[in-house]
């Protein structure tokens, strides 16, 4: 069964090639964005960028054609703003938006429609073949494909020992299946923005880009922390955060426990994670408080040893690390 993508589908999945073809066939030109009646598209696009930069997901889907154009304009705006943390947050927010629509569609559609949607999005874009179980309730993916995509998930439910596996296939529900490709969707959108060659922009977009850059740039300037007094593993983690990239779970735990160990206030530690594309202040604060022993099990977590960090590829030792067995010792030596 082939799937015909309508404007409603393209508004939900505007990263598909069909969305670009739709715009070409509509004859829409960039100059038209300076017309007064297209002001709404510019404003919606700016709103979409602002929401993504705040770590949230743009949810509007009330006017399909407008949303397709809005997505294209946001790509141009993010490219023109030229701030890497904004690009990463935007790409993740768009991936999460598509993830929500995909999950809803897979739960509502027939088995044949599900297979067609998988073929269109998962197989065409990411080379991931997914099948539907006979009763239509679960989805199956090859063990090798599952491992390649789930290896960076740290929650226990993603471990192979906790999965239903049969005949070389891993069984997943709709939410899990879509979650499996969130990172690839984010990478796809990031690469599309980076590869863009911008035309001469309409004045309306230029003005909005300047407004957004002025508004967003200060958020990232003060979050480039002085890192010279920290051990190399912590310094590396902070540099990754300053670039607006996500740290793996184990690196976040190391960073947070180290900062707690040297007496950083929880508010300052939470602030350190604000550059992360997937930052959520409520969740981050709870996790830091949990590590500090003030929430959950009330157990205060220690900084992982250098040996453990080496096994997790988080050790970036230099000559100054000689003899220490835990990153907190490096800090103590520097303060003497």
120-129 contact pairs (CB < 8 A, 24+)? 120/3, 120/5, 120/16, 121/13, 121/16, 122/181, 125/15, 125/16, 125/184, 125/188, 126/181, 126/184, 126/188, 128/180, 128/181
Alpha helices, DSSP H, located in the chain = 7-12, 17-26, 39-53, 64-81, 84-108, 111-117, 124-126, 143-150, 174-179, 182-195, 203-221, 232-242, 249-261, 266-272, 281-292, 306-311, 327-335
Q: Rounded distance, CA 59 to CA 206, Å? A: 25
pTM score of the predicted model? 0.69
One pLDDT digit (tens) per residue for the chain, 336 residues: 555 678 888 899 998 888 888 888 887 777 788 888 888 999 999 999 999 998 889 999 988 989 999 999 999 999 999 988 899 889 989 999 998 998 888 777 776 777 777 777 888 788 888 888 887 778 888 999 898 888 767 667 888 888 999 999 999 988 888 888 887 888 889 999 999 988 788 898 999 999 999 999 887 654 545 545 789 999 999 988 887 777 888 899 999 999 999 888 898 899 888 878 778 888 889 999 999 988 877 788 999 999 999 988 899 988 888 778 999 888 665 554
Q: Report the pLDDT value the prediction gives residue 234, as an integer from 0 to 100.
A: 93
CB proximity list for 296: less than 8 A, separation 6 or greater: 290
Length of the chain: 336
Contact between 284 and 291 under an 8 Å Cβ cutoff? The reply is no
* Alpha-carbon distances of 293 from 112, 154, 260, 285, 304, rounded to whole Å: 50, 21, 10, 12, 16
Buried b / exposed e along 241-267 (16+ C-beta atoms within 10 A): bbebebbbebbbbbbbbbbbbeeeebe
Q: Report the pLDDT value the prediction gives residue 2, as an integer from 0 to 100.
A: 56
Contact between 308 and 325 under an 8 Å Cβ cutoff? The reply is no
Assigned token pair, 149: 């995509």
CB proximity list for 300: less than 8 A, separation 6 or greater: 260, 291, 292, 293
Of the chain, the end-to-end C-alpha distance in Å amounts to 71
CB proximity list for 115: less than 8 A, separation 6 or greater: 1, 131, 132
Q: Report the pLDDT value the prediction gives residue 331, as an integer from 0 to 100.
A: 61
Q: Report the pLDDT value the prediction gives residue 3, as an integer from 0 to 100.
A: 58
How far out from the chain centre does Cα 16 lie? 18
CB proximity list for 102: less than 8 A, separation 6 or greater: 13, 117, 121, 178
Q: Report the pLDDT value the prediction gives residue 222, as an integer from 0 to 100.
A: 47
């Amino acid at each position: 069964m082939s799937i015909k993508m309508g404007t409603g589908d393209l508004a939900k999945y505007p990263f598909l090639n069909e969305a670009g073809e739709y715009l070409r066939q509509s004859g829409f030109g960039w100059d038209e964005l300076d017309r007064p009646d297209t002001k709404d598209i510019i404003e919606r696009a700016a709103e979409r960028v602002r929401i993504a930069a705040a770590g949230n997901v743009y949810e509007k889907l009330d006017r399909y054609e407008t949303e397709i154009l809005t997505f294209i304009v946001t790509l141009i705006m993010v490219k023109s703003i030229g701030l890497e943390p904004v690009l990463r947050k935007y790409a993740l927010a768009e991936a999460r938006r598509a993830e929500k629509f995909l999950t809803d569609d897979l739960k509502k559609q027939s088995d044949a429609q599900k297979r067609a949607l998988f073929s269109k999005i998962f197989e065409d874009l990411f080379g991931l073949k997914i099948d539907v179980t006979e009763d239509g309730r679960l989805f199956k993916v090859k063990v090798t494909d599952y491992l390649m995509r789930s290896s960076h998930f740290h929650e226990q439910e993603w471990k192979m020992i906790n999965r239903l596996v049969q005949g070389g296939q891993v069984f997943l529900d709709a939410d899990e299946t879509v979650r499996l490709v969130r990172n690839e969707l984010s990478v796809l959108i990031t690469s599309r923005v980076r590869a863009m060659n911008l035309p001469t922009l309409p004045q309306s977009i230029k003005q909005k880009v300047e407004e957004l850059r002025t508004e967003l740039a200060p958020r990232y300037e003060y979050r480039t922390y002085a890192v010279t007094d920290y051990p190399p593993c912590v310094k590396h983690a902070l540099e990754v955060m300053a670039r607006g990239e996500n740290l793996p779970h184990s690196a976040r735990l190391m960073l947070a426990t180290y900062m707690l160990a040297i007496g950083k206030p929880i508010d300052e530690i939470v602030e350190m994670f604000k550059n992360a594309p997937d930052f959520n202040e409520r969740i981050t604060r709870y996790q830091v408080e949990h590590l500090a022993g003030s929430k959950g099990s009330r157990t205060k977590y220690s900084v992982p040893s250098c040996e453990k960090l080496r096994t997790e590829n988080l050790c970036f030792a230099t000559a100054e690390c000689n003899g220490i067995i835990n990153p907190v010792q490096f800090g103590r030596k520097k303060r003497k």
